[in-house]
Structure 1
């Protein structure tokens, strides 16, 4: 007896979605490498990422299943990793400004706030366009993170040096280039199979456009390329295209990406320092420049080129308010705890005394019982 078309295609579609979901998990880990540019603060960033992930991902699933009665399936698993990657992006705003153990507290407080914003956008409002997370993921990450630093008010971070090295910035180059390759999986993870390939083309068009416009504007403004600005802002097209990735063609996607790259680059060069001086707080990794503003660009683009209803505007404004308010509450709670003794330094969480000496086994590659291969 022949299987019906549904019985044949449904498992294949689910398996296809599973692999896109795996790519999103991989991207979450790559976000950590995107933030490893401070040469004395690499292990700490990786650990903060892991703590955020191992708390946020299962907590989202448990609340969905036990409180909301939602079955655990491939879609709920992907929704949970969306929540976790949003948190990992968000902690970039206040990385190094709290003790490592308190990222667990931040994650516990983040998940209900994220789920409330998710409900507001897709259940309370009707007709919001955001298949690839320009609002839900990128905007919320930036403004929840900014709420945290506004509540935390850890001004000491402004006096800490952020020294880099070729090695540390090379991590960022690698992560950025790999994220560019994987980004279509992220924005198409919840789309039906027939929409995936067209959306993939549109996503890549947006990404290559922002990689180009970032370079051109950097060259025009500075006559040289800042590797950190470039490796971050080149991804702005992927952030902005999320709201319309399944609704516009490659040319429109390219235009959205090109504009997003210009805006993100300008924010890194000018808005970042202005916000720091105006508010007195520091967005450690410049999350607002890559995720916040390009996220708004993408959300507004949905109104201009895809006919999004007025609900789109309410989603933008609501995400701003919900993010800043719930993030601010989180920052005030985190402020109760002791400030870390070392800011932007692995020694806050690890004993680095031996690791940083000239004769350290870590430097010379010695292993237990021998030496590492050449």
Structure 2
């Protein structure tokens, strides 16, 4: 009997270990999707005809800065262990900054992105602490607040502090080739989005989270098309390819809690508000502030992020802490970003803006370029 008992205990322990390993490997594959999404965000921002390599380079520079600094900070100062959750946290930090630099792409020189990466890490770690330690009961499994809202308002803080108005006069011409990058990135991001919003969820919640994410995103596709057709009788490819992702942004905070119908409605609202922001709010903000959100990050990530952050309150799933999280993230993002913008303001301005020639010998290489 003693032998049988020991055998059963050993088998149970082995099964538990195997289940833990399977769960970790399952999470590993979702994490790889998030790394892939980070690179796709660069392609999402390549719509300016002469500013494609520069966008890719800026993305790689901030990734190569933020990812190791985040890991080193937690392992060195907080005795964190290297595990899949830490790696996911690091790539979340990196993708947040990749989104944020979309606000001020072309506003700063390429080398300044290394400074941006270094200054961003403590900002991001502070907002993590604020949301999940200082506050109790904040719902944001898929990053509507932590990633999308913080990226948008930190980035806006940077351009408000930097105030490089000269970039407003630079041409931002597109081509079929450059906009095709955006189409490709948008459609692939849509496929991978469930991995992003469920990356930190337990395995039993992943399938429902996947369903909720796709329901929200296809709702964004429909509402974006209908609004553009109703108001313009044509489809602006940039507005469309951006706003169809707003459902994924908005569903993040409640991806593991909403019903399928609620998820679809969240996607409708997120996509609709994002589309209207591109059509009406974007130009108004540019006129009132005098600065230009190069990639329209506020319209895709900021406004839908607010909607996503508030959704758990509307659904009766969260209370005052959730509202404080949304308002606090907006304010903290603007303030911390503004400080970084002031620091960047004293650095040398880029010799060329919205042009690959700022970092590459592109002028010579394009001498025979028929585009």
Q: State whether structure 2 residue 174 is matched by structure 1 residue 157.
A: no
TM-score, scaled relative to structure 1:
0.95
What is the deviation of 1:221?
Answer: 0.9
Q: State whether structure 2 residue 32 is matched by structure 1 residue 39.
A: no
What is the deviation of 1:3?
Answer: 3.5
- Structure 1 stretch 108-117 or stretch 1-10: which is displaced more? 1-10
Distance 2:119 2:184 in 1: 31
Q: Which of 11, 33, 42 is the aligned partner of 1:3?
A: 11
Distance 1:58 1:3 in 2: 39
- Corresponding residue of 1:268: 278
Q: Which of 143, 146, 157 is the aligned partner of 1:133?
A: 143
Secondary structure at the residue paired with 1:69? coil
Report if aligned partners of 1:217, 1:265 keep a CA contact under 8 Å in 2. Answer: yes
User: Larger % of helix: which?
Assistant: 2
Report if aligned partners of 1:244, 1:306 keep a CA contact under 8 Å in 2. Answer: no
Distance 2:292 2:364 in 1: 31
Distance 1:153 1:357 in 2: 33
Residues 161-188 of structure 1, C-alpha deviations (whole Å, 9 max, x = no match) = 1100000000000000000000000000
Secondary structure at the residue paired with 2:216? helix
Q: Which of 171, 185, 189 is the aligned partner of 2:195?
A: 185
Distance 2:316 2:216 in 1: 16
Residues 104-135 of structure 1, C-alpha deviations (whole Å, 9 max, x = no match) = 00010011001100100000000000000000
Q: Which of 238, 247, 250 is the aligned partner of 2:257?
A: 247
> What count of residue pairs does the alignment treat as equivalent?
361
Unaligned runs of 5+ in 1: 365-374
Report if aligned partners of 1:247, 1:306 keep a CA contact under 8 Å in 2. Answer: no
- Corresponding residue of 1:74: 84
Unaligned runs of 5+ in 2: 1-6
- Corresponding residue of 1:299: 309
Residues 21-74 of structure 1, C-alpha deviations (whole Å, 9 max, x = no match) = 000000000000000000100000000000000000110000011011111100
Distance 1:162 1:131 in 2: 36
TM-score, scaled relative to structure 2:
0.96
What is the deviation of 1:306?
Answer: 4.1
- Corresponding residue of 2:3: none
